Amino acid sequence: MIENGIKVIKIGGNIIDDDSKLNNFLTDFVNIAGLKILVHGGGKLATELTDRLGVDTKMIDGRRVTDAETLKIVTMVYAGYINKMLVAKLQSLGCNAFGLSGADANTIPALKRNDSKIDWGYVGDLDYNMPDAANIKIFLDNHWVPVFCAITHDHQGNLLNTNADTIAACIASALAKKNYEVTLVYCFEKKGVLADINDENSVIKKINSAYYMELKDRNIVSKGMIPKLDNAFQSLKEGVHEVKICMAEDLHDFENAGTLITQMNI
């Protein structure tokens, strides 16, 4: 185990929605040695509850527009039920987890999105200096495992719905600046970045920035994968040691599975 090494692991909503996959993932997460942080998305529950309450769901390019009523729902689901459910499951596995939003201990302040063309509502944007690594370190020093949801705050009394992939990358980058050797792992339902979206075995083992531009130009990567990769490359620039993108079921062997994102030539 690397001294002062830490794993920042992000789990996607599709895994949260599957009890069996989630339980296996959390078991593998607990078995990872050393310091670690879990960042989670929201799953389908927020959309289901929004529909049941008669609140319109508006999505633009896969991103949720978050008006005042939607903010109440996503906060209840992300920072409430899902976050505490994950903490309870981790506690049952002997992992002393501590559930957090970005408002707690001022760990992740954000800025309300300012877009001249689209009113995103209460959506938060981050830069890589915003997470308070010193406060996050307090949890780590006390041997607690932080579990962050996708809710931040703006220092104006407002909660903000914020992309969980970006939160994970920014936490990883902030900790790297505190002299941690940080590995960022994105876990989702695919085996990695795929050369052919219809072929689960077409995993691209390594991607550097030049190859990434080529993959985008050829439309091999698009939509939801682009924000993950953008965050991955930016976090490397900010000092993160390594980024992996892999299937949640492969977390136990993430060092050999999935796609390695690297700044080095391949």
- The answer to whether the beta carbons of residues 233 and 240 sit under 8 Å apart is no
Answer whether 170's CB lies under 8 Å from 136's CB: no
pLDDT at 23: 97
Tell me the three state secondary structure of residue 49: helix
pLDDT computed for residue 1 by the predictor: 46
| Paired strand residues for 36 | 7
* Positions in the chain short of pLDDT 50: 1
Q: Which of 41-68 are b and which e, b meaning 16 or more Cβ less than 10 Å from the residue's Cβ?
A: bbbebbbeebeeeeeeeeeeeebbbbee
Q: Angle formed by the axes of helices 225-237 and 209-217, to 10°?
A: 160
Measured CA to CA, the distance from residue 259 to residue 212 in angstroms comes to 12
Give the number of other Cβ atoms within 10 Å of residue 241's Cβ: 16
- For position 147, what pLDDT does the model report? 98
User: DSSP code of 174?
Assistant: H
DSSP character at residue 66: B
Q: How do residues 106-134 score in pLDDT, each as one tens digit?
A: 999 999 999 889 999 999 999 888 999 99
Per-residue pLDDT, 171 = 98
Q: What pLDDT does residue 62 have?
A: 66
C-alpha to C-alpha distance for 246 and 12, rounded to whole angstroms: 11
pLDDT tens across 156-187, in order?
A: 999 999 999 999 999 999 999 999 999 999 99
- The pLDDT, as a whole number, for residue 170 is 97
> Residues 206, 228, 146, 135: what is their CA dihedral angle, to the nearest 10 degrees?
100
Angle between helices 225-237 and 164-176 (to 10 degrees): 10
